[in-house]
Structure 1
Amino acid sequence: MTTLLEVSGVSVTFDGFRAINNLSVQFAEAELRAIIGPNGAGKTTFMDIVTGKTRPDEGRVIWGERNISLLGLSESQIAQEGIGRKFQKPTVFEDQTVRRNLAMALKNPRGPFAVILHRKTAQNAARIEEIAEETGLSDQLTRTAGELSHGQKQWLEIGMLLAQDPRLLLVDEPAAGMTVEEREKTTDILKRAAETRAVVVVEHDMEFVRRLNCKVTVLHEGSVLAEGSLDHVTSDKTVIDVYLGRSDA
């Protein structure tokens, strides 16, 4: 399978604390991956580096078939390359309808005349309906985002990212604050999205990760500690010691 993103030998230190320590990890196109690990393991810093928010002290971050170095790009340039990020707290336009939120997020031409000349098109309308269907919001399109439940706002933000047609979607703790039913629906949304792009999910909820049924990367002290299926990594003695807790404790 073709490598979409390669992080190689990356390290970053904040005020003497090494948040990422010689991290090397690869992600393929159209794959679903979960990243787990204790607090301070480097999960958020990893996403910050990939999206250009944090510059590492050393290492390489290579993107796509053209082998572009993301380290030389700005956050907006990285987003334009096709990397989308969803933070833990949903950020939607609460006073706008769900349809309008999705419409504003659609990937359309950008330029001095593009916004002026842009009109609602049948293609855009169809894409909005398609995203709403994917995210379970078809019957919510006319509601304002502020009226949605926490879970629905999360789905709307995922939908807004999908509207930008990213090749890689980074999702931070989507299960936080959700009901059991919402968590189940969220795993379905992410699994479907991963059929056509890479989706990387940072999560603490092990049941949520189990339902994703995907490859798992365990981070500890800024490095990869273990990788494989959830059953494989959760049976690893070192993972149990540093993250899951001793079974005989």
Structure 2
Amino acid sequence: MTDAALAPDTRPTRKRETLLELSGVSVSFDGFRAINNLSFQIGEPELRAVIGPNGAGKTTFMDIVTGKTRPDEGRVTWGERNVSLLKMSESRIAREGIGRKFQKPTVFEAQTVEENLAMALKAPRGPFDVLLGRTGASGAERITAIATEIGLAEHLPRIAGELSHGQKQWLEIGMLLAQDPRLLLVDEPAAGMTPAEREHTTDLLKRLAERHAVVVVEHDMEFVRRLGCKVTVLHEGSVLAEGSLDHVTANPEVIDVYLGR
């Protein structure tokens, strides 16, 4: 993939189609209902922020989408064919194009930035190809393009463990991009970042949302405001409010259960 392939799409905006839909989803743990009749949908491409107090169900929501947790009831459908994610394993869901970035970066710290991206590439290569650096011309080109996209092109030879916290976050996003995702679930990307890193992360997520569906779970309201996207507020496992940030933060119930705390 070339730099041009990773550049924002300048073609006329196509009609946004629903990519992921949760309908009537509920799940309980030891009698506690973590998700309660949750309905949610996101199109492709689209950027969405998900906010809410601790215990609102944000992590469980992502666990359900990625197959880590199976709901007690409800539907989770994916793609143009509306296939059920509930019948798929976690690895199959990842292959379908759903990538998740956790709050704490999970990169291979002893390997270089380039090696991290090479190991993540979605390509028919064996483990020895990766260990011996046999990515091929197209693979090398794609690694360079992804590194440029995430802002680490000049850091490809560096050991990942030497990167700053923010740079590790970008590398993990790059590793997700190497898997050709259609949906990215990004958990609290702004946590622990410098102001400059937060600005870069905002720009990166907004660019990615021109080609992908991106869900950002975040507590930082200023960061959410910079994203300038639709916001979904979760509370007690259900959608409490949805709309622009100004719209949801003016909602009396949102103020009572989240902003007022």
Q: Which residue does 1:165 correspond to in 2?
A: 180
Corresponding residue SS for 2:219? coil
Q: How does 1:195-206 map to 2 (within 5 A)?
A: 195-206=210-221
Q: How does 1:208-227 map to 2 (within 5 A)?
A: 208-227=223-242
**Structure 2 residues without counterparts, runs of 5 or longer:** 1-15
Q: Which residue does 2:165 correspond to in 1?
A: 150
Following TM superposition, by how much is the alpha carbon of 1:112 offset from its aligned partner in structure 2, in angstroms? 10
Which residue type is aligned with residue 234 of structure 2? L
**Structure 1 residues without counterparts, runs of 5 or longer:** none
Corresponding residue SS for 2:63? helix
Which residue type is aligned with residue 105 of structure 1? A
Say whether residues 1:82 and 2:70 are aligned partners: no
Say whether residues 1:193 and 2:208 are aligned partners: yes
Following TM superposition, by how much is the alpha carbon of 1:17 offset from its aligned partner in structure 2, in angstroms? 0.6
* Structure 1 counterpart of 2:118, from 96, 103, 120: 103
**1:167-198 Cα deviation digits (max 9, x unpaired):** 00000001111111111111111111111110
TM-score (norm 2): 0.91
180-189 vs 216-225, greater mean Cα deviation: 180-189
Corresponding residue SS for 2:143? helix
How many residues are matched?
246
Which residue type is aligned with residue 218 of structure 1? V
Say whether residues 1:19 and 2:19 are aligned partners: no
Corresponding residue SS for 1:101? helix
TM-score (norm 1): 0.95
Following TM superposition, by how much is the alpha carbon of 1:122 offset from its aligned partner in structure 2, in angstroms? 1.7
Q: Which residue does 1:68 correspond to in 2?
A: 83
* Structure 2 counterpart of 1:50, from 50, 53, 65: 65
* Structure 1 counterpart of 2:189, from 174, 178, 194: 174
Distance 1:4 1:145, change over 3 A: same
CA distance in 2, matches of 1:2, 1:29: 6
CA distance in 2, matches of 1:136, 1:115: 23
